[in-house]
Structure 1
Amino acid sequence: MTKVKVAGFGVSLDGFSAGTEQSLEHPLGVRGEEIFQWFFPTQTFRQMIGKEGGETGPDDQFAQRAMAGFGAFILGRNMFGPIRGEWPDDQWKGWWGDNPPYHAPTFVLTHHPRPSIEMLGGTTFHFVSEGIEVALQRARDAAGGKDIKIGGGVETVRQYIQAGHVDEIHLAVAPVALGQGEPLFSGLDLRALGYRTVEHVPTERATHIVLAK
């Protein structure tokens, strides 16, 4: 049965999952990269960017789980790029170049429709302007029975959790305080929504916590 998951989602000690002022220079917001220091050294991440080597071990195992085996992805528009408002043209095709790391149908939430974009490696970006429910149904139809990942950003993850659609949440809690940014937990009562900790693995760079219903 298809499950909807949040996986490999970084969060700071003070509850922020992205920094402020996202831009081309700061895709994760100012200081946002600090909450992904567990991810960047892994073999999984280095393979994603076409490099060899990288660390193995628990962080890499969680990184693999966060990217592999999904039949479809759902992203907020901020996860696709820094452009706001109407699309000025069709030049921007995501942060990742010609071969994005998803390798599956990927549904981008937006208020501004745009034709789908077929990329290398099996990723096709579909732009959904009818809301989170329509995006989820289209992802289910496309996933072929595999799981669906809600890939972020913060507001997209919060909406799907609040709506009761997320079966499992893997948080990588970084040992840093951002001070300001986009809060993940504001307005979310995870216990009331039925989540319990089912896995808890501390490493040098993060504490991996898996919550499930």
Structure 2
Amino acid sequence: MSKLRVNAFSLSLDGYGAGPDQDLQNPLGVGGEALHKWAFSTRTFRKMFGEEGGATGTDEDFAARSMENLGAWILGRNMFGPIRDEWPDDSWKGWWGNNPPYHVPVFVLTHHKRASFTMEGGTTFHFVTDGIHSALEQAKAAADGKDVRVGGGVATIRQYLQEKLIDEMHLAIAPVLLGAGENLFAGLDMPKLGYLCSEQVATPLATHVVIKRA
């Protein structure tokens, strides 16, 4: 049965999934890049971006798990790019160049219509203007029995958590304090929403935590 998952989502010790002031120079917000050091050297993430080699071990194990059995992704608009309000044109194709690392359909949540387009490697971006439930329905249909992964950002994950729609969530908590940005759990009562911690493993660069819906 298809699951809705969050995987390899990095958080600071104080709960922020991105730093403040996202722009072209700081796509993860100011200081946000430090959250992802655990992932950058892994074999899985290097392969996603066309690079060879990479580390093995626990960080790699979680990175590899994050890519298993994926049939579609859901992204918030901020994860797709820094543009706000109406699309000025169709020139922005995402942060990732001509060959994004997804290779499956990707559904981007937005308030503004835009035509779908396909990139190298089989990634097709679709833009969903009628909410998270519609995006999930379309993503599950496209995934054809495989899982759907919510890639972020924080606001998008929070919406799916509030609706109790996420089945499993892997967080990589980095030994970093950001002090500001987008906080994942602020105001959310996770036990009341039916979630519990099912796994915890620490490495020098991150504490990996798996949260599942009871």
Q: Could you state the TM-score of these two structures normalised by the residue count of structure 1?
A: 0.98
CA–CA separation in structure 1 for the residues paired with 2:173 and 2:99: 29
The answer for the alignment partner of 2:95 in structure 1 is 95
- 2:168 aligned partner, one-letter code: E
Q: State the Cα RMSD in Å.
A: 0.8
Higher strand residue share: 2
Q: Which runs of 4+ in 1 moved over 6 A?
A: none
- 2:145 aligned partner, one-letter code: G
Matches within 5 A, 1:64-143: 64-143=64-143
Count, aligned residues: 213
CA–CA separation in structure 1 for the residues paired with 2:27 and 2:19: 9
The answer for the alignment partner of 1:168 in structure 2 is 168
- 1:69 aligned partner, one-letter code: N
* 1:106/1:123 contact within 8 Å kept: yes
Greater shift, 45-54 or 108-117, is seen at 45-54
> 1:22 Cα shift?
0.5
CA–CA separation in structure 2 for the residues paired with 1:106 and 1:204: 32
- 2:75 aligned partner, one-letter code: L
- Structure 1 residues 38-93: Cα deviation after superposition (integer angstroms, max 9, x where no partner): 01111111112221121111101111122332111000000000011111111100
User: Does the residue aligned with 1:161 lie in a helix, a strand or coil?
Assistant: helix
User: Does the residue aligned with 2:17 lie in a helix, a strand or coil?
Assistant: coil
- Structure 1 segments unaligned to the other structure (5+ residues): none
- Structure 1 residues 116-172: Cα deviation after superposition (integer angstroms, max 9, x where no partner): 011111110000000111101101111110000011000000000111100001010
CA–CA separation in structure 2 for the residues paired with 1:146 and 1:50: 24
User: Does the residue aligned with 1:38 lie in a helix, a strand or coil?
Assistant: helix
User: Does the residue aligned with 2:193 lie in a helix, a strand or coil?
Assistant: coil
The answer for the alignment partner of 1:212 in structure 2 is 212
The answer for the alignment partner of 1:5 in structure 2 is 5
- 1:197 aligned partner, one-letter code: C
The answer for the alignment partner of 1:187 in structure 2 is 187
Percent identical among aligned pairs is: 61
CA–CA separation in structure 1 for the residues paired with 2:13 and 2:177: 5
> 1:188 Cα shift?
1.1
* 1:200/1:209 contact within 8 Å kept: yes
> 1:101 Cα shift?
0.8
> 1:107 Cα shift?
0.1
* 1:154/1:182 contact within 8 Å kept: yes
The answer for the alignment partner of 1:29 in structure 2 is 29
User: Does the residue aligned with 1:25 lie in a helix, a strand or coil?
Assistant: coil
Q: Could you state the TM-score of these two structures normalised by the residue count of structure 2?
A: 0.97
User: Does the residue aligned with 1:138 lie in a helix, a strand or coil?
Assistant: helix
